[in-house]
Structure 1
Amino acid sequence: MSLRPPLSLIGRLLRRSPPPAGEPPPQDAASWFGTSAAWDDLPAAPEAGTESEPPAPGASLPPFVRIYRVFIGARMALALVLLSAQLLSYALGNQPIWAALILSLVYAAQTLSIWLLPAPAEAQPRVGAKGTATPLRRRSWLATIGVDVVTLSLFYAMSPASGVNYPLLLALPVLMAGVMTPRLPALGVAAIVTLVLLGVALWGGDRSGQTSTLLTQAGLLGTGFFAIAVLAGELAERLASAGLSARGSMELARQQAQLNRLVIDEMQDGVLVVDRQGRVRAANPSARRLLAAEGMARAAPFQLRGVADWEPLVRSVEQAFIDGRWPAGGREVTLPLRAAQDSIGLRELRLRVRFTQRRDAQGPEDLCVLFIEDMRSIYARARQDKLAAMGRMSAGIAHEIRNPLAAIAQANALLDEDVSTPTQRKLTQMVSANVDRLKRIVDDVLDAAPGVRSDPGLIAVGQQVSIICEDWLRAAEMPAELRRTGAGGALMSTMGSAAARLAGRFDAEHLRRVLVNLLDNAWRHSSQTAGAIEVRLESRHRRGEGRDPREYLVLSVFNDGEVIPEHVERSLFEPFFSTRSRGAGLGLYICRELCERYGANIEYRQHGAQERRRNEFVVAMPAFPLLTAP
């Protein structure tokens, strides 16, 4: 079954409209492997039953147009030679043949005008009988061939016995007809020329008495002209078929290139084409996003060397070129991407490398193709697989635990009423504290479990953050002199003026849950001195490819504790992971689930050693005008 119809359909779907005249193509229209102009410039195959449009000025001429121009040039050269021969004969003192001289002048003028003057509008290229572009319509090329046949026949008739072999010159219109016309008209032209030769032979034979000789020569020449017409037509058909085949192949190649470009541009994995000098020849949008802390890296070509954040990647590429091989499962590389305000976000990437040329191959240069995967995405897929199986089970278990917990709490309350010794009261208090802890764990599991999610509406995030921070300071376990915001207090608060005028789509109680959890963790792992924690609310713009900049509210919680080790950072947001023996390991997991529920994002960033507060947890949520908030 042929693949051409579906590929043609795909090609038409993928074909983009050209930019206005005088404007460069947009950057987005460029292929992931450089510009696509090389493919877009290829001529598209004509639709069945339609005529191809005239070529644009300056465009390359089709093969048959070039052949036609060669014929026109040959006609002009022949006319000049005939005219020069007549003039030279007159200059040498021979008696001129005025009819031949006038005919030479007229023929030279006619061929020169066709060579110099542009073709009229009706003579522009169209799809001809041979299936390819022919330069003239039927009446135009018939007139051109007819002029040649008549003119050269008159020359032969006027001086059949001269030293000039005029019959061979008649091969020019026969050859032109064989190449430029269908088989039947070409044979017709050969027949007309043969009749002319036979007629002149009969006329000349009567005068010279060599009728049989002249007829034999004319017959042989006529047979040769028929052979020329047939062979030229066959070669022209083959040329037309080869041209159509090449044109179809180029169209399929262009369609395949556009299809490959679409697939690669839509890939979730990044694709880079890098040479030995660290120069990126091509990069798809996913790779550009992975190489940038925010937004996208610049479009290819660009240099990997010289950018501090990309040094681990450069070293890996150089080592790959030196070794000439790469682990089949890939290799993990960590990029310390610096975002705004010199914050550092460690982005773990898995690299898989394929070489386009072996080390011992001969060629101008070596290229390697890098397939880049974000380890966060890999971890997220694995986490989703694990949580999908655990979610419903945990929710069911939590519901079943509630009933026994309620019975234990009631029984403990009854026992507490009848206790008479401090030891017994201490035991009932211990039971009550652990029952409350189990209730909190059950509530956390139920909050994180999938369920019906309603639209929370918009809230003034800046106002809510201020209230939550004040409430947290009053409830936190810390010295009384640190229970304030600002200088001398445990908490430093910074709110941008633009952020104060924006709202976010988040449930107020869930935002309190997230922020209180982050503040508890920040205080627990900080130096617990004045200024150990900072809460910052800002508005930032993030630009995505092909989209306008989107404004986000960025809520950051800093603390001055020790930086989180890499092996701990990987599991920060995993359920039931905790560095404390009495921790449930659900705090940050609940924070992430609540943030994702409202379209927000939470992540950990690490700052340089020169900063006091090196640990930062960031919550970014889409921002909306505060006027629309209730």
Structure 2
Amino acid sequence: MVRPQETIRVELEEYLWRALQVFNVYRLLVATAFLLFEQAGLTPRVLGTANPELYSWVVALYFSFAILMIALLVKRYPGYKSSVAMQISLDIIAIVAIIYASGEVNNGLGVLLAVSVGVSSLLIGNSKALAVPAAATIALFAQVFYSHYIDGLDSQFTNSGLLGTSFFIISYLSLTLAKRLYYTEKTVLESKADLASMEAVNQDIIQTLKSGLIVLDESLNIQMLNDAAWRELNMPSAPKMQPLKAISREIYLATKQWLAKPLTDSMLIKLASRNIELQLSFRKLGADEHNLILIFLEDTTKLTQQAQQLKLTSLGRLTASIAHEIRNPLGAISHAAQLLNESEGITENDKDLCAMITRHSLRMNTIIENVLNLSQSRPPQQESIYLESIITQVKKELLQHHDPQPEIDVLIKPQDIQVLFDRSQLQQIINNLCQNGLRYSLENTGTASLHIYAAYHSPSGQAYLDIIDRGKGVKEQYKDKIFEPFFTTSNSGTGLGLYLARELCQSNGANLSYIPLPSEGGSCFRIEFGQ
């Protein structure tokens, strides 16, 4: 990872190279203007009057140098400091040579030299830049000296002195400005680097949150979401900047409801695509019409599992404390009924009453044992299980021990469906549901039959298992009660089978639900496994 200081240094160098490229563009434009004026015969009278041939050569070489510098700057050769020194040196030589070829210092060409001096101070940015006006002044005086003593022209030392003085003033002002610009730019880049670092930290915190987070704009378009929210929304492709309505209609409707009546900041919804419940928490960022909306997503599955474990623990404490007190007198009642049934002189009516006492005593004992088994159930030992193997095992046991011989159709599509579950608990759940289904099919049709179907939901990829019987189905008024403890419509049932099956499913992160089949008749119990 690049350190912030290193990043700042690299960006500052990038700005300096760009400034050097702009300066070379200026040089190319000046050289091109000189060249075009000469070729078109429009050269002003002050240019090249003293030595036209030298003027032509210098202009051509100056233009060629500007072209060459384009290629060198693209490759950034031979380095920034060397490039600056080379350009400034050749600028001084070329412009002084053009001044010499034009015959006078006060012909206005000194302005070009002043520009080069000022820009060089900005590009160098430290006290070394003062060497540039010194070199320009020396070159200018050397040109005047040569013109006066060798060519016999009029002395122009005063003008050269004034121009050299202006070079130092321009260089000093440019250097002061360069330092301020440098520190300003450095401060901006440091602030930018700090903001980028903070943004990276915030992004890392947001992405590692266990709760899902969605950020919406005022139009309810998704601006950002973390990995947890992406998974909760069934991993949509390219969700950013898409309308929330297109990604999750349930969350969209909940958000609209909250915006219309923000009486509470939380809401519980069910995602039909994954059959899970989500706790939504809403927050607003900003106080105007351009504010953002934060939505926190919390999957209640784990909370349900934790609550289930606490409930089972509490139930275990309760049943452990009262089981002994109930089973002792219950055993005494059952034993007394057996003795009474075996006594002499008992009538048939009394024997029937004794049998009733024994039968209901056994039923109460079964209920106590079921409650004890439920309360003392261990935490699930989840493992990856192929549904085909465990369904095949349950089917084999049912065919061996059920009388009459049942008809069980199994369809698993695809055959390699894997789920994360406690093996013994899943076998217990499937066996319980199959036993119920075979019994009700036999009562309704005279044939013990079942259809078992397993597949994946599309597009969520969530595995599910359907156990379908041919019974009469569950009456409408009982649909909301069949998973309650001790609720039963059978004279021989305890009312704990479906309750226990659902509790075990929830402990493993799955869900057991009832699906009526009014057109076909019968019932369908569906296990939807967690992802």
TM-score range, shorter chain: 0.7 to 0.9
Distance 1:226 1:501 in 2: 80
The alpha-carbon deviation at position 74 of structure 1 amounts to 1.0
Q: Which residue of 1 aligns with 2:451?
A: 536
Partner of residue 217 from structure 1, selected from 145, 162, 178: 162
Q: 8 Å contact 2:214–2:222 — kept in the other structure?
A: no
Matching residue within 552, 555, 568 for 2:480: 568
Q: What secondary structure is seen at the aligned counterpart in 2 of 1:174? A: helix
Structure 1 residue 241: deviation in Å? 0.6
Structure 1 equivalent of residue 65 of structure 2: 110
CA contact under 8 A between 1:526 and 1:532: conserved in structure 2? yes
1:300 counterpart residue number: 239
**2:370 equivalent in structure 1:** 444
Aligned residues of 1:578 and 1:585 also touching (Cα < 8 A): yes
Q: Per the alignment, do residues 430 and 51 of structure 1 end up closer, same or farther by CA in structure 2, a change over 3 Å counting?
A: same
Secondary structure at the counterpart of residue 444 of structure 2: coil
Per the TM alignment, residue 261 of structure 1 is displaced from its structure 2 partner at its CA by 5.2
Q: Which residue of 2 aligns with 1:433?
A: 359
Question: Partners of 2:156 and 2:91 in 1: how far apart?
Answer: 27
* Distance 1:159-1:140 versus aligned 2 partners, 3 A rule: same
- In structure 2, the CA distance between the partners of 1:565 and 1:249, relative to structure 1 (3 Å rule), is farther
State the shift of 1:404 in Å.
6.4
Q: Equivalences for 1:34-433 in 2 at 5 Å?
A: 48=6, 62-83=14-35, 88=41, 96-115=51-70, 117=71, 119=73, 121=75, 123=77, 136-157=79-100, 161-197=104-140, 208=154, 211=157, 213-214=158-159, 217-218=162-163, 220-238=165-183, 240-242=185-187, 244-245=189-190, 247-249=192-194, 251-252=196-197, 255-256=200-201, 258-259=203-204, 262-263=207-208, 267-269=210-212, 271=214, 273=216, 300=239, 315-320=253-258, 323=260, 325-333=261-269, 349-354=278-283, 361=288, 369-373=294-298, 379-395=304-320, 397-398=322-323, 413=338, 416-418=341-343, 420-422=345-347, 425-426=351-352, 428-433=354-359
The 1:499–1:107 alpha-carbon spacing in structure 2 relative to 1, beyond 3 Å, is closer
C-alpha separation in 1, matches of 2:118 and 2:415: 85
Report deviation, 1:445: 3.4
Note if 1:466 corresponds to 2:395. Answer: yes
Cα gap change, 1:139 to 1:273, in 2 (>3 Å): closer
Per-residue deviation, residues 543-582 of structure 1 (Å, max 9, x unmatched): 999xxx79x683524454246669936x92x6x4636698
Gapped runs of 5+ residues in structure 1? 1-11, 13-43, 56-60, 125-135, 340-344, 475-482, 487-492, 623-630
Residue aligning to 1:601: 510
Question: Could you say which residue in structure 2 is the equivalent of 1:578?
Answer: 487
Asked if structure 2 preserves the Cα contact closer than 8 Å seen for 1:86 and 1:100, the reply is no
1:72 Cα shift?
0.3
Letter in 2 for 1:466: K
SS at match of 2:264: coil
Q: Match of 1:529, as an amino acid? A: N
Larger radius of gyration: 2
Output the CA distance in 2 between the equivalents of 1:305 and 1:316. 11
Q: From the superposition, tell whether residues 428 and 513 of structure 1 become closer, same or farther in structure 2 (CA, over 3 Å).
A: farther
Displacement of 1:414 after TM fit? 5.1
What is the CA–CA distance in structure 2 between the aligned matches of 1:182 and 1:306, rounded to whole Å?
Answer: 55
Per the TM alignment, residue 183 of structure 1 is displaced from its structure 2 partner at its CA by 0.6
Superposed displacement of residue 110, structure 1:
0.9
Q: How far has the Cα of 1:462 moved from its partner?
A: 4.0
Percent of aligned positions with the same letter in both sequences?
20
Tell me how many residue pairs correspond in the alignment.
516
CA drift at 1:114: 1.7
Structure 1 204/74 Cα, relative in aligned 2: closer, same or farther at 3 Å?
A: same
Higher relative contact order, structure no. (Cα contacts within 8 Å, ≥ 6 residues apart): 1
The answer on whether the counterparts of 1:537 and 1:553 sit within 8 Å (CA) in structure 2 is: no
SS at match of 2:104: coil
- Alpha-carbon distance in structure 2 between the residues aligned to 1:506 and 1:352: 30
Q: Is 1:288–1:298's contact at 8 Å kept on the other side of the alignment?
A: no
Three-state SS of the structure 2 residue aligned to 1:149 is: helix
1:589 aligns with 2:499: yes
Pair 1:153–1:420, CA change in 2 (3 A): farther
CA contact (8 A) 1:76 1:108 kept: yes
Q: Residue 556 of structure 1 aligns with which residue? A: 467
Unaligned runs of at least 5 residues, structure 2: none
Shift of 1:70: 1.0
Does the CA contact (< 8 Å) of 1:350 and 1:372 recur in 2? yes
Equivalent pair of 1:178/1:230 in contact (CA under 8 Å): yes
Cα separation, 1, equivalents of 2:436 and 2:443: 11
Change (3 A) 1:68 1:427: same
Deviations 1:367-399 (A, max 9, x none): 755445556555444434433443455456547
Q: Which SS does the other structure have where 1:227 is aligned?
A: helix
Partner SS, residue 465 of structure 2: strand
Contact 1:178-1:186 within 8 A present in 2 as well: yes
Indicate the SS of the match to 2:525.
strand
**Distance in 1 of aligned mates of 2:213 and 2:447:** 39
Cα 1:253–1:395 shift into 2, 3 Å: same
1:502 & 1:104 partners in 2: Cα distance? 81
* DSSP 3-state at the match of 1:421: coil
The superposition leaves residues 326-377 of structure 1 with CA deviations (integer Å, 9 ceiling, x where unpaired) of 231534445655x9xxxxx6x655544445677xx556xx875544555655
Aligned residue identity for 2:429: V
Contact 1:274 1:281 in 2 (8 A): yes
- Say which SS state the counterpart of residue 245 (structure 1) adopts: helix
Q: Give the aligned partner of residue 24 of structure 1.
A: none
Confirm or deny: 8 A CA contact 1:287 1:372 kept in the other structure: yes
CA–CA separation in structure 2 for the residues paired with 1:503 and 1:161: 94
Aligned match of 1:490: none
Q: What value does the CA root-mean-square deviation take over the aligned residues?
A: 5.1
Q: Is contact 1:271–1:283 with CA below 8 Å preserved after alignment?
A: yes
**Deviations 1:463-520, CA, capped at 9 Å, x for gaps:** 443345457863xxxxxxxx6646xxxxxx3212768899999999866743454356
Q: What is the rounded CA distance, in whole Å, between the counterparts of 2:231 and 2:447 in structure 1?
A: 34
1:610 and 1:348 map into 2 onto residues whose CA distance is 29
Deviations 1:96-121 (A, max 9, x none): 43223322221121112223x35475
CA contact (8 A) 1:461 1:503 kept: no
Residues 399, 113 of structure 1: alpha-carbon distance in 2 compared, 3 angstrom cutoff: farther
CA distance in 2, matches of 1:437, 1:229: 101
Residue-by-residue CA offset, 1:586-621 (whole Å, 9 max, x unaligned): 323322455577x583410435754534x4222467
**Aligned counterparts of 1:142 and 1:156: Cα–Cα separation in 2:** 21
Q: Which has the higher helix share?
A: 2
CA contact (8 A) 1:351 1:370 kept: yes
Does the CA contact (< 8 Å) of 2:35 and 2:59 recur in 1?
yes
CA contact (8 A) 2:93 2:139 kept: no
Partner of 2:526: 618
